[in-house]
Structure 1
Amino acid sequence: MLKVASYNIHKAIGTDRRRNPGRIIDVLNELDADIVALQESDRRFGVRAAAIPALLLEQNSDYRAIPLDVQIDSMGWHGNAILVRRSAIVHAHDIIHIPCLEPRGAVRAHIEIGDMHISTFGMHLDLSGLWRRKQAAAVIKLAKHYGQGMRSILMGDLNEWSANRGCLSDFKRSYSIVECGRSFHSRSPIARLDRIMHCPGLTAIEAGVHHSLAAKKASDHLPVWADLVENSCG
């Protein structure tokens, strides 16, 4: 079984408006997922330094950020990052340029955990519905290309407020969308903005939103998670 999660950490600024990366690490440790897609993982201004210092993550968790080789001080690409357990093997990684009106991007990695090879995509899509659909089309095309011969998982903050329309309808043509639940706003969740999607070769056996006291305070989004197993076919 593989546990994955997606978490918009809001640059480590909590609902009390304080920046506290230690709280984010506490939530990550509570989640105990094998792969985590982060959004807003870098600070907004200046050199876009990582919201979670690498040394703090190393000393206080079993996670490491997949290096994206873009900016020296950043963890992600336009805030998108992928965390894995230290025992995971990363065979490849890349940044993805997607159509955008405002600065947006996506990231991908080929990860080996146990005997499973996973093509993982992390994304944070646009506020505009038209641009979200353009971005979804670009991600779907690349996910199909890079996912050949392995299982594929797509995760992130889609910024899609509708239940079944917009970019969700585009993703559904190729991937199953896990019913995790409402993740935004963390104090009183009303929207399913954060999503986990997977190829037909996987099945979600359990999923949810992480509602711990720490999570409700650490960011304006709650993390979503899913337990996935491989199908015998697909």
Structure 2
Amino acid sequence: MLVATYNVHRGRGPFGRFRPSRIAAVLAEIRPDLIALQEAQHYLRPGRDMLDFQAIRRELGLIPLRVPDCPGHSGWRSNVVLVRDGAGVGFGPLGLRLGGLEPRGGIVAELDLGEGPFRLLACHLSLGAARRAVQAERLVRAVQSGRGPDLPTLLLGDLNEWRQDRSALAVLRPVFGPSASPPGFPSFRPMLSLDHILTRPSGMLRSLAVHDTPLARRASDHLPLTAQFDLAGRAVPEAPARGP
């Protein structure tokens, strides 16, 4: 299945213009089975959707994974997960309180998109390194939720970390293995790998790449990160690549 993570920068391009319709157009380019969005809700208008989810459902067959304890919202603390319409939900979704001043958070759920059950962890971590390490420890504890650590786990989001031996990635590496994510920030000249897709056990990702198109470079300050997620773990991870 095709999965992705995308910090949509509150619907603003890298130079600040509010154009949420561009985000929807990028989703149409990718056509994922599951995508985690960060900064995808209005901060000052929390009850109002930034994206036209009815049109996205109609055109792409994707629906928001709504958190029950956050009624009236499409996500949790600006995290929105879109999944293929008809996906099975075995646990959750639940909002994860990760702390921080921004604020930050995540979503955990057990899903089945027709290829078997797996745990989803979608998140957006803080800018401060010390806080990111604490937040990563909370994500590791979330692996114990539901049916426990034996369930295959997909973690994806903006971790705000590009160094394998620092803060969040250092905490996550013993559980998920090293990240092979290519650089996708800033979108107009990608240099840093802030966005990551990880699995437990490792070895379930292939075709890991940034979605680098002219439209994606204008839609947000991050490029989307995509991967084929193979629950059977048969695929050998490929070298990081860039491309649409």
- Which stretch of the first structure deviates more once superposed, 70-79 or 203-212? 70-79
Unaligned runs of 5+ in 2: 235-244
Deviations 1:151-196 (A, max 9, x none): 1011110111424322101100100344231111101111100011
Partner of 2:168: 167
Q: 1:229 to 1:137 in 2, by over 3 A?
A: same
Q: In the alignment, which residue of structure 2 is the partner of 1:25? A: 24
Task: Give 1:48 shift.
Answer: 5.2
Task: Indicate conservation of the 8 Å contact 2:132/2:168, yes or no.
Answer: yes
Match of 2:123 in 1: 123
Compute the displacement of 1:207 (Å): 0.6
The gaps in structure 1 that reach 5 residues or longer are none
Cα distance, 1:73 vs. partner?
4.4
Change (3 A) 1:3 1:144: farther
| CA gap 1:48/1:188 in 2 versus in 1, 3 angstroms | farther
Is residue 212 from structure 1 mapped to residue 209 from structure 2 by the alignment?
A: no
Q: 1:103 to 1:144 in 2, by over 3 A?
A: same
Q: Secondary structure at the match of 1:145?
A: coil
Percentage of pairs with the same residue: 28
Q: Does 1:7 align with 2:6?
A: yes
Structure 1 pair 163/43, CA: closer, same or farther in 2 (3 Å)?
A: same
Query: Which residue is 1:58 aligned to?
Result: 57
**Cα pair 1:10 1:219 within 8 Å, conserved:** yes
2:108 paired residue number: 108
**Counterpart AA for 2:158:** D
Task: Check whether the contact 1:25–1:61 (CA below 8 A) recurs between aligned residues.
Answer: no
CA distance in 1, matches of 2:169, 2:184: 16
Q: Does the aligned pair in 2 maintain the 1:120–1:154 contact within 8 Å?
A: yes
Shift of 1:203: 2.0
Runs of 4+ in 1 over 6 A off after TM superposition: none
Match of 1:198 in 2: 199
- Give secondary structure in 2 for the equivalent of 1:174: helix
The root-mean-square deviation of aligned C-alpha atoms, in Å, is 2.0
Question: Could you tell me which amino acid in structure 1 is paired with residue 22 of structure 2?
Answer: R
Give yes or no for contact 2:208–2:227 (8 Å, CA) kept in 1: yes
TM score, norm. by length of structure 2: 0.87
Cα shift readout 1:72-131 (whole Å, capped 9, x = no counterpart):
543221111111011322233111112324311111121111131111011110111111
Give the TM-score taking structure 1 as reference length: 0.90
